[in-house]
Structure 1
């Protein structure tokens, strides 16, 4: 005979409703009681009927992650793997499952989330990047549905978000190159419709303006967060009659493409051109040469965003609307004058 919730409650000396609250991670259940009930559930090999529980509690213990487009970014850019690792670390401790979804267009993304939200299949949504005029944000706000944005809220909308100060981070990257006596500094940026790209561009321009340095339009190249974008950027930038002597690159993976392009063209880093990148993924230190990179706390972005979303789902009060994760520049060989 299968074990029931009443069996667990009887052995634990609590009511079946208390066991149900432990299963749904109710915040008012004490740690001691929750640990005791979970141990008995484990000893009895009891597995709750999640579908039945969802019908009663109107919760699913599932949150959705909207994956980026193009889809290859997710598999070729380690930023997303690390931010999802942070998300999983927090949600798994809280007993929540993750559901990942995407679409080939904004319309398909909205359709996917509409099905999940109105079908009551999820309790909240995590958005992995911020775009201008994002219909996903408009839909979730209209539905008054819990969600957290990883990135700056576009158009100064009051939404719950977890972000890096990308303006300051980009400013810091440029100022490091200025301290290395560079005056011709270019920028390999991401897609212009993303707020992260806009903020890093703003920081880049702010630093140049403060230092009285020229920022030629041809020294700025935009693309996707993919290695190929960095590779293509070099075929353009290094063939200019007056090329930059240093570059800020918006992503470590893009920087790997920059390095590949420079090697094929016969240039050396940092002797011919210096590089500062973003994200400080593990491979940045193992690159040849090791890449100077802004550490934006990718894991912490995911962990903090999921923590904020769970608090919102459980109605644990109003907190900060925008949480900023600190950043730091990790200086390595790619940006140092020899």
Structure 2
């Protein structure tokens, strides 16, 4: 079995240089890295990462925490895409990923405690920001490195986080509907325990009030970020005496449920009701009709979270950062200018 010394001899470098190449040390030139890696490949040498972890007191692993059971979360294309971004970021630094798999909040908390207390990971990325999340408090008390995807509910100046300006994005898409002549605009949001839902609701409300439109409580519906959530929201909104002419939906998967239910009820999008959404996952492009949606750059959110997590691990004195990933509104065929006759013909 090949050793570090064998690799060093073949590559004509010191054994310590081989170790630095394995650790992807930035001080080693790319030319030397290529030579050493070619020697490793030729000899079939594979580093013993467990032994290295014990020596370095580092696992070179990062924990991932999703907001609900994996079965439920992975129904939403947001999570595979953000994990793809995180994977790219950790792979570049030769870190691995470990995911929490709890079914409930308590089980997720227990799983993270095991990661932290058992020193199984060097840092944790939370793929959500929850109101009064006990997990965030625990990690802060432990002084354990972590990054949040989303805006922290509190202690925002003390926690590195990667986010979009969800307030501004929701305000802009609502203004887009107002510009098209809509006055009866409903908001279909996710769970109000998540900060992203609150930010998007506040942005929607600001646009409504700025336009001197009536803010109606019955136009605000909160469901799960799932297809079924969108379906339930439509049933509720279109049983109203004055149903909306446009919908701001906080998530593309929910919006797919919205489109399906509207079609079942014989309500045409966009002729009878306009729909805008968030995330710009593949679903939004292939839905019927294709959705106008906010592209929040999910992959980049994940990549930035991983990059900053590793920076905190490797440079513990790194100051807190707020990374805002830009968004853009992608206009498709789910919105048109409002004409009163449309709704009256339903």
Which TM-score applies when normalising by structure 2? 0.94
SS of residue in 1 equivalent to 2:8? helix
Residue in structure 2 matched with residue 77 of structure 1 by the alignment? 76
Residues 170-185 of structure 1 mapped to structure 2, 5 A cutoff? 170-185=170-185
Are residues 1:44 and 2:9 paired? no
SS of residue in 1 equivalent to 2:74? helix
Give how far 1:107 is off: 2.4
Give how far 1:17 is off: 2.6
Residue in structure 2 matched with residue 124 of structure 1 by the alignment? 123
SS of residue in 1 equivalent to 2:59? coil
Are residues 1:262 and 2:259 paired? no
Which TM-score applies when normalising by structure 1? 0.96
Residue in structure 1 matched with residue 315 of structure 2 by the alignment? 315
Give how far 1:70 is off: 4.2
CA distance in 2, matches of 1:337, 1:132: 37
Kept in 1, the 8 Å contact 2:62–2:125? The answer is yes
Kept in 2, the 8 Å contact 1:24–1:61? The answer is no
Show structure 1 runs of 4+ deviating over 4 A. none
Are residues 1:29 and 2:25 paired? no
Give how far 1:319 is off: 5.2
Residue in structure 2 matched with residue 14 of structure 1 by the alignment? 13
Give how far 1:264 is off: 0.9
CA distance in 1, matches of 2:72, 2:26: 37
Residue in structure 2 matched with residue 193 of structure 1 by the alignment? 193
Give how far 1:151 is off: 0.3
SS of residue in 1 equivalent to 2:154? helix
Residues 311 and 4 (structure 1 numbering): CA distance in 2 closer, same or farther, change over 3 Å? Answer: same
CA distance in 2, matches of 1:42, 1:11: 11
Kept in 2, the 8 Å contact 1:74–1:81? The answer is no
Residue in structure 1 matched with residue 277 of structure 2 by the alignment? 277
SS of residue in 1 equivalent to 2:148? strand
Give how far 1:239 is off: 0.9
Kept in 1, the 8 Å contact 2:256–2:283? The answer is no
Q: Deviations over 1:98-143 (max 9, x none)?
A: 1111322322222211211221211111110000111211121122
CA distance in 2, matches of 1:53, 1:170: 47
Kept in 1, the 8 Å contact 2:24–2:94? The answer is yes
CA distance in 2, matches of 1:61, 1:156: 27
Give how far 1:318 is off: 2.6
Residues 53 and 102 (structure 1 numbering): CA distance in 2 closer, same or farther, change over 3 Å? Answer: same
Residues 163-312 of structure 1 mapped to structure 2, 5 A cutoff? 163-312=163-312
Gaps in structure 1 of 5+ consecutive residues:
none
Gaps in structure 2 of 5+ consecutive residues:
339-346
Give how far 1:299 is off: 0.6
SS of residue in 2 equivalent to 1:102? coil
Give how far 1:96 is off: 1.3
**Stretch of structure 1 that moved more, 238-247 or 86-95:** 86-95
CA distance in 2, matches of 1:96, 1:8: 22
Kept in 1, the 8 Å contact 2:291–2:333? The answer is yes
CA distance in 2, matches of 1:268, 1:65: 40
Q: Deviations over 1:228-264 (max 9, x none)?
A: 0000111110110011110000000000000111011
Give how far 1:67 is off: 2.2
CA distance in 1, matches of 2:14, 2:316: 24
CA distance in 2, matches of 1:15, 1:308: 31
Give how far 1:144 is off: 1.7
Give how far 1:64 is off: 1.1
Residues 117 and 195 (structure 1 numbering): CA distance in 2 closer, same or farther, change over 3 Å? Answer: same
**Stretch of structure 1 that moved more, 311-320 or 298-307:** 311-320
Residue in structure 1 matched with residue 63 of structure 2 by the alignment? 64
Q: Give the root-mean-square deviation of aligned CA atoms.
A: 1.5
SS of residue in 1 equivalent to 2:97? strand
CA distance in 2, matches of 1:118, 1:18: 33
SS of residue in 1 equivalent to 2:334? helix
Give how far 1:161 is off: 0.4
SS of residue in 2 equivalent to 1:266? coil
